[in-house]
Amino acid sequence: MGLVEVRRVSQGLFSPCLADYYTPAMLGLKTDQEVLGELVRAKLPAVGALMEQLGVLWTLVVSRWFICLYVDVLPVEVSALLGARGGQASRQGVTRASVSLQTVLRIWDCLFNEGSKIIFRVALTLIKQHQEFILEATSIPDICDKFKQITKGSFVMECHTFMQRHPVLVSEGWCATVYITLRSWVKAGVRQCSVTLCSWVKAGVRQCSVTLCSWVKADVRQCSVTLCSWVKAGVRQCSVTLCSWVKAGVRQCSVTLCSWVKAGV
């Protein structure tokens, strides 16, 4: 393996975000799960809406996918079939059955080559391909079950087709912004209020995240109480006003805000 390849592989595997998967706080993992949530919301809105409606945390369904990088999730081994090594077999044009079962290895090839975005692509592909099936779910257990089932079957066996059918990702710039914002939120533990935050993000209040984070660090509970009551009162529409308040540092006034909200101001 040449130096260039080595560098590429190590960049793919040990890029900062992936490395953060396995630290005590698992910040990278939590963030990536939220990023996936945003991606699904953008690319597959029906699934995103269902997940929100049922209140399923992405951690619940994709932790294993992300932590294990799809090992033990998607098919790994081919040798049992024909005793031929997949890569060679494909090059020599041996029967298709012999090369079709090594989806994980194929994913890892792409992961080494292109970096951690592959993790999202695979997840999105799985979800997109089985969108109708997932949308049949009516409860949390249903969802858990569906997400387990979509990693099985003929679709994931055909690794080449599988890897080529990934949906086009939204712009890298968007991803980067969302990633940074979500990461700071996750770090500060603000994600409990995800409903509010999501609507704020949609309304373009993203630039407030720094302020929010400092609020939350100062007093998580108080902040979430406020946010909660805002959400309940449907203050979403006022998010522009809120934004300017937030910018002005209205933290001390949050109790007042709360009572205003309650009073319907």
Partner 1 sequence: MLSPYLSTPSVVLIGESGVGKTNLLSRFTRNEFSHDSRTTIGVEFSTRTVMLGTAAVKAQIWDTAGLERYRAITSAYYRGAVGALLVFDLTKHQTYAVVERWLKELYDHAEATIVVMLVGNKSDLSQAREVPTEEARMFAENNGLLFLETSALDSTNVELAFETVLKEIFEKVSKQRQNSTRTNAITLGSAQGGQEPGSGEKRACCISL
Binding site for partner 1 (CB under 8 A): 22, 24-27, 29-30, 54-57, 59-60, 63-64, 67-68, 72, 140-141, 144, 192, 221, 224-225, 228-229, 232, 255, 258
Least distance (Å) between residue 26 CB and partner 1:
4
CB 185 within 8 A of CB 198: no
Least distance (Å) between residue 178 CB and partner 1:
21
Least distance (Å) between residue 195 CB and partner 1:
9
d(C-alpha 127, C-alpha 125), whole Å: 5
Least distance (Å) between residue 32 CB and partner 1:
12
CB 55 within 8 A of CB 140: yes
Least distance (Å) between residue 229 CB and partner 1:
5
Q: Which of 121, 112, 205, 119 shows the shortest CA–CA distance to 170?
A: 121
Q: Say what the alpha-carbon torsion angle 17, 22, 39, 169 is, to the nearest 10 degrees.
A: 50
**One-letter-per-residue 3-state SS of 98-129:** HHCCCHHHHHHHHHHHHCCHHHHHHHHHHHHH
CA angle 90, 92, 95 (to 5 degrees): 60
Q: Which of 34, 42, 37 shows the shortest CA–CA distance to 17?
A: 34
**Nearer to partner 1 among residue 184 and residue 229 (C-beta):** 229
**Nearer to partner 1 among residue 84 and residue 225 (C-beta):** 225
**Nearer to partner 1 among residue 2 and residue 16 (C-beta):** 16
